[in-house]
A and B are shown apart, each in its own frame.
Chain A
Amino acid sequence: MQMEQKLPMAKIQVEGKSKRGLGRALIQLGLTLYALVTLYPLFWLFTSAFKTNEEFDSRPFYLPKVWHWDNLTRAWDVSAMGTSLINSTIVTVTALAFTLVMGALAAYVLARFQFRFKAFFMGLFLLGMLIPIHSTLVPLFIMLKQVKLLDTYWALILPYTAFELPLAIFVTAAFLTAIPKEIEEAALIDGTGYWGIFFRMMLPLSLPALSTVAILGFLRFWNDFAFALIFISKPALKTVPLSLSVFATGYSTDYKLTMAAMTIAVIPTIIAFLMFQEQIMKGMTAGAVKG
């Protein structure tokens, strides 16, 4: 299968190869330029992390005159970044695992079965995507206190999972609806149970969707400031966003150290993103084999 044929531009394919090559080159050039623009902030962040505050403000778009490597170590120490990275990893990975398994299961049921109240459940989960999270802080705080989960990892893991489930369910369900019914019916005739179908067919088939959910979930959990600020008070349990915000006093912001801390914190995110992106691609080939 040739991918270009999906493109409207590929219409010109009949008009000869040279024109097609030129069109493709132009598209590639455009895409490259666009990519450079989107990559620039990352580059800017990395360079800003090595400046002085004076330089940060007076020459925001230049390279640092002197590379201040000690910004990184200073930021690491003052913000207790080591502890935060461990905590964020534990919380993010656990919450992701819950989100993916629960979300995929619910999505499978909602996408492939007919039952009463189905529309109601879909509507209920839809509601979850509309909620401005800041309004739930006080009630959630009180509830977490009642069930004695405040100041544990669970105080973040459970709300994170709950708030990400709607998105997980929606994206995965939409994806699963597109899979032909026949696949499932054949398996049922073979005597495979629903759990078997879910684990052995649906889960692998929805890997691209789940990877998408995983990327979005990872970013949300890794970067959440509001829940982490309110539900965690033990310094030993603090997560990364709290460490990133210690350099602004309300009267001034220590930009160089903020940028240095962010540089450290963004690296795991990039790695996670690249990992999941590969999964999206693998899922594609896996999906194409069956049928």
Chain B
Amino acid sequence: MKKTWLIALLTVMTISMVACGNSGSKDASQENGSTAGTKTEKVKLSIWHNYTGDDLRAQTMRATLEQFQKDNPDIQLDIQGIPPDGYRARLKTVAAANEMPDLFVMWPGIMTKEFDGGGLLQPINELLDSKPEWKEGFLPNSFSDFTIDGNTYAVPMAMSPTSILYYNKKMFSENNVEPPKTWDDMMHLVETFNKAKITPIALGNKAAWLAQSSILSSLGDRVTGTEWFLKAIAGEGAKFTDPEFVQALAYLKQLSDAKAFQDGFNSIDNTQMEQMFAQGKAAMMIDGGWALTNLAANASPEAMADMGATVLPTVPGGKGDPDSLSGVVGTGLGLSKNVDGARRDAAFKLIYTMASPEVQKKTLEGNQLVSYKVELDTSKVSPIFAEVYKLLGTVHTTPVYDGRLSSAVADVMNNGLQELLMGGNPENIAKKIQDAQDKELAASK
């Protein structure tokens, strides 16, 4: 009995050694064969994406890649779908080891800046200039977060407004109230719904970036104006300890002090928050455009028919434009510096295909907003999606804080907001943010 066990163990070891050894050498010979092959010199391209799920967007993107492979037999794609939760960690690790893929899904703003700073990217201006009609098709400012010193490194394949105020029309009419126009309206609504034993605003701030991206980015802009924020991140004449920013924090705290959010919002994730709103357990929710995709997949049509969308209310004496909401363009495909010649041509072709008018249209019809001018066929999307789409045509976009702040400062801000919502002191938190920002500015000099 004991012997059999031992023998089995040793056999497994030998077999696996042989098996693994074989598979390794087979691959090597295949690779040799293909590079040495004279007839069909295939162009090889590796691409990393995070479209792994079962949602419509992911399906569209995966199908596009497959179709591209079929249409271009001379190009051999090495497609790798990486779980979204581990995507950035993986990309960062390989970047640290200088082993970048040829093309990869890249975020606008700070990530583009960091990768460019490391000399890992090459611009795609040439591609954009060769297709002027396509270039013109993007919404204004679509490239700005992918552009550094005149070089554009990617084109957006989607769009993410981050602070839409979603509200439940039915609950609003039952309580005889209107969507808030001013901060007073908002505080009044909170009071009304609390009296009616309804959670005024659903919040799921476990991941900590939500209160920052969805609430403070827009609320802060209302108070301080965009210019102030741009100065503060550049460290030129504005600081997060300035009274206007502290005031923005105070507004947010005022909401939480008035019990605008349900209990335990810091331990609830945003999927649960969206479910809470969709199931009519809260009258409002402040969330991004991504909610539309999730709601379309998981909420009932009746629930979605009751939903309305607007922007955050104005604040007294605010310097920002009230007809705005914070937002960023979506991810694009970054191109590694090491790609040249025929491979570069192939890469351009793929970048175009993935962001082509047809794919943008398909993406849009999958309830995902895009940064491209496409006529929306409202019969193909949910009513709330159509409403948000219309809303976006009437307002302009302001920066999202964590899209512009360095990761370290954004992390301090996110944690600071969790603290603030638990009753923290606005001045102290503003100081912590500014300290982190000072450190960042000192390091970059």
Contact = CB atoms under 8 A, between A and B. Distances in A.
Contact of A90 (B2, B19, B290): B19
A279 B270 CA distance: 45
A52 B290 CA distance: 20
B234 interface: no
A137 interface: yes
B227 to A, nearest CB: 30
Contact of A251 (B17, B99, B290): B290
Q: Across chains A and B, which 10 residue pairs bring their CB atoms closest together, nearest first?
A: A246-B52, A204-B2, A245-B83, A94-B16, A251-B290, A57-B275, A252-B294, A229-B86, A97-B13, A53-B298
Given A141-B93, A242-B83, A252 B271 contact: yes
A18 B81 CA distance: 65
Contacts of A90: 16, 19-20
Which of B19, B53, B272 gathers most chain A CB within 10 Å? B53
11 contacts: A54-B298, A90-B16, A93-B16, A152-B24, A245-B86, A247-B52, A249-B53, A250-B85, A251-B294, A252-B271, A282-B1
Contacts of A234: 80
B412 to A, nearest CB: 20
Interface residues of A, number: 50
Contact of B83 (A93, A248, A254): A248
B77 to A, nearest CB: 11
Interface string B64-93: 000000000000000111111110011001
Which of A90, A234, A246, A257 gathers most chain B CB within 10 Å? A246
B16 A247 contact: no
Contacts of A255: 271
Interface in B1-47: 1-2, 5-6, 9-10, 12-13, 16-17, 19-20, 23-24, 27
B12 A141 contact: no
B440 interface: no
Which of B12, B16, B19, B89 gathers most chain A CB within 10 Å? B16
Nearest to A286: B2
Given A199-B6, A235-B79, A257-B54, A101 B16 contact: no
A230 interface: yes
B97 A138 contact: yes
Contact of B20 (A94, A207, A233): A94
A251 B97 CA distance: 28
A144 to B, nearest CB: 9
Contacts of B19: 90
Nearest to A255: B271
Given A97-B9, A251-B270, A229 B82 contact: yes
A234 B351 CA distance: 22
Contacts of A225: 86
B211 to A, nearest CB: 15
A153 interface: yes
Given A53-B297, A249-B55, 20 more contacts: A54-B278, A54-B300, A57-B271, A57-B272, A98-B13, A101-B13, A142-B97, A145-B97, A153-B23, A154-B24, A157-B20, A230-B90, A230-B94, A235-B79, A251-B293, A253-B269, A254-B54, A254-B55, A255-B271, A286-B1
Interface of B: 1-2, 5-6, 9-10, 12-13, 16-17, 19-20, 23-24, 27, 50, 52-55, 58, 79-86, 89-90, 93-94, 96-97, 99, 269-272, 274-276, 278-279, 288, 290-291, 293-294, 297-300
A52 B270 CA distance: 17
Contact of B12 (A74, A93, A154, A286): A93
A233 B12 CA distance: 25
A157 B278 CA distance: 46
B76 to A, nearest CB: 14
Interface in A26-67: 52-54, 57-58
A107 to B, nearest CB: 15
A207 B13 contact: no
Contacts of B300: 54
Which of A94, A207, A242, A250 gathers most chain B CB within 10 Å? A250
Contacts of A57: 271-272, 275-276, 279
A203 interface: yes
B20 A247 contact: no
Contacts of B55: 249, 252, 254
Contacts of B24: 152, 154
Nearest to A157: B20
A141 B299 contact: no
B16 A229 contact: no
B168 to A, nearest CB: 16
Given A235-B79, A246-B83, A97 B53 contact: no
A78 interface: yes
Contacts of A53: 275, 297-298
Contacts of A233: 80
A54 B83 contact: no
Contact of A58 (B17, B58, B81, B275): B275
Given A74-B54, A245-B86, A154 B20 contact: yes
A52 B54 CA distance: 14
Given A90-B19, A97-B9, A203-B2, A54 B275 contact: yes
Interface in A102-154: 137-138, 141-142, 145, 152-154
A9 B344 CA distance: 77
Nearest to A57: B275
Nearest to B54: A78
A254 B24 CA distance: 36
Contacts of A78: 52-54
A233 B274 CA distance: 33
Given A203-B2, A249-B55, A54 B299 contact: yes
A101 to B, nearest CB: 7
A235 B81 contact: yes
B9 A152 contact: no
B384 to A, nearest CB: 16
B269 A203 contact: no
A252 B270 contact: yes
A90 B23 CA distance: 12
A264 interface: no
A140 to B, nearest CB: 9
Contacts of B288: 251
A167 B305 CA distance: 57
A253 B275 CA distance: 11
A162 to B, nearest CB: 16
Interface in A217-238: 225, 229-230, 233-235
